Amino acid sequence: MTTRRDFLRTGLFTAGAMAWMNPNRLLAAPGQPPMRFIFMHRGNGLWPRVMVPPSFDSKLMQKEKQKAAYEVDLAGHELPEWMSPLASHVNNLTILQGLSGKMCTTGHHSWCSSLGVFKANERISSIKWATVDFELAKLFPSPVEHIELACFPLGGGNARGALDGIAKGFSARGPQQPNYAFGSPRVALAELFKSVSLEKTAQTQYQLDRKLLEFVASNENAAAQTLHGIEKAKLTNYSDSVEVIRRRNRKIDEMADVIRRHVPELDPKYLDADVSTFDRQIGHAEVLLGALISGLTNVAAFTVDELGHSYTGIPGIEGQKVNMHDVGHGKMIGGLEAEEIRKLCRHHHMTLAERIVSRLKSVPEAGGSMFDNTMIFYFPDGGETHHSHGTEYPFIVLAGDNAKLNLGGRYIRLPNYGDVGHKTLGNWYTTLLNACGNPVEHFGAPDVGLNHIDQLGPIKQLLA
């Protein structure tokens, strides 16, 4: 550990941008459960056509073909086969079509574009502002603020060279401030819950971290007294960040009993370095649930896959490493058609969403359940196809009863790209933020190709 940056990127106190947490946001409003948000995004596109219930009649199918705006109650309709795990939660389900994101980076890799609504690349300098998940985390404070879990790519995309570590993620906590994500359930479990670990080594390391933070805070405060101007400001900011970490750790210590009750008990296969993609995703979902239920965080980003991730564990071809770029170009692998591979992966993602919803519905909270105060989003990080243009970003939304939006049990297609009333990702995220108390006029960058359309404000029909 040779630099301040190295220090701030080591261990629990940096994963998920914890080092920059506002010290005034350590506690939620008393007596009122916080809203919780889970952003599940995946690579390689998500075709709008696979979102359409097969039970729609010819008139609805014609509207769908024309991409005309319409709404349908999902009651009595059959979900697409790959969405079948969500059938018992249809009253909480919204299929949202027609959002565009041409102001984002599309195609093979989007980085933090689809969450930030701006053009981005691998350069940190391209990050213009905090992504929407971090903006929501500010509204519903928690000790850890935000966690990110990812199935990292090895060929292109954000992180390269390792699946198991902590590396640059797909969210951003602010301008030129990338988030850091856990690449494996094993690492996430060890880092997030080490404060209550029963393992002697983990406890020793945790106490060493605490002592180190105490030393650094004292040392930097003393050093700042001898400096002036910009150098003093830099050191003071660094010292303040360390103090924020210490305050957060004290809050976590106060919650130790609750946290200890919700430490995920994972089967050893989920902790294996060679865990398959399907099992890695299950392990991540369990860690995510433990962090939410224990109160460590209220917001999570979950990169279920990325185009550069080599899939393993796909039923029928479990032993093969599947190049999703080849799948995007329609290549048959192991005797399975590319579209079948896509469907199997999407279906597995829905089992993850169902696992999360069912678990949260089983946890009592304020006369209801934790799910009443939760929203889950499943969407493509790059748009509608493998080589996307950003004209459509399909969303699956699972929302509890206390979400302040007019959602649940509906299929909604918004006006097509360029048509009067068309809405973008920026409008969608503005809607979420406005509903949760942030009155921002517009989140993200505008689409310069839609100058004939008023792009400001929320999607009013979705506001409760």
CA distance 104 to 291: 30
**CB-count burial class (<10 Å; 0-12, 13-18, 19+) for 133:** buried
CA distance 441 to 454: 12
Instruction: Note whether 248 and 13 are within 8 A (CB).
Output: yes
What pLDDT does 9 receive? 40
* 114 closest CA partner among 126, 128, 129, 132: 132
What pLDDT does 28 receive? 41
C-alpha torsion 450→454→455→461, nearest 10: -120
E strand residue ranges, 9-130: 36-42, 70-73, 93-97
- Characterize 189-212 residue by residue with b for buried, 16 or more Cβ atoms within 10 angstroms of its Cβ, and e for exposed: bbbbbbbbbeeeebeebbeebbee
Angle separating helix axes 185-192 and 277-294, nearest 10 degrees: 20
What pLDDT does 3 receive? 44
* 395 closest CA partner among 422, 418, 440, 425: 425
What pLDDT does 6 receive? 41
Model-level pTM? 0.87
- Strand, helix or coil for residue 94: strand
What pLDDT does 154 receive? 81
CA distance 217 to 234: 14
CA torsion through residues 173, 43, 289, 209, sign: negative
Instruction: Note whether 361 and 369 are within 8 A (CB).
Output: yes
For the chain, domains (ranges, CATH) are 4-193+263-462 (3.40.720)
- For tokens 């993200």, the residue is 444
- Characterize 148-181 residue by residue with b for buried, 16 or more Cβ atoms within 10 angstroms of its Cβ, and e for exposed: bbbbbbeeebbbeeebbebbbbbbbbeeeebbbb
What pLDDT does 402 receive? 97
pLDDT less than 50: residues of the chain: 1-29, 208, 212-213, 216, 220, 238
Q: Report strand pairing: 410-413 vs 70-73.
A: antiparallel
* 438 closest CA partner among 137, 179, 177, 178: 137
CA distance 395 to 378: 6
What pLDDT does 356 receive? 98
Return the bridge partners of 365, or none: 368
Instruction: Note whether 416 and 115 are within 8 A (CB).
Output: no
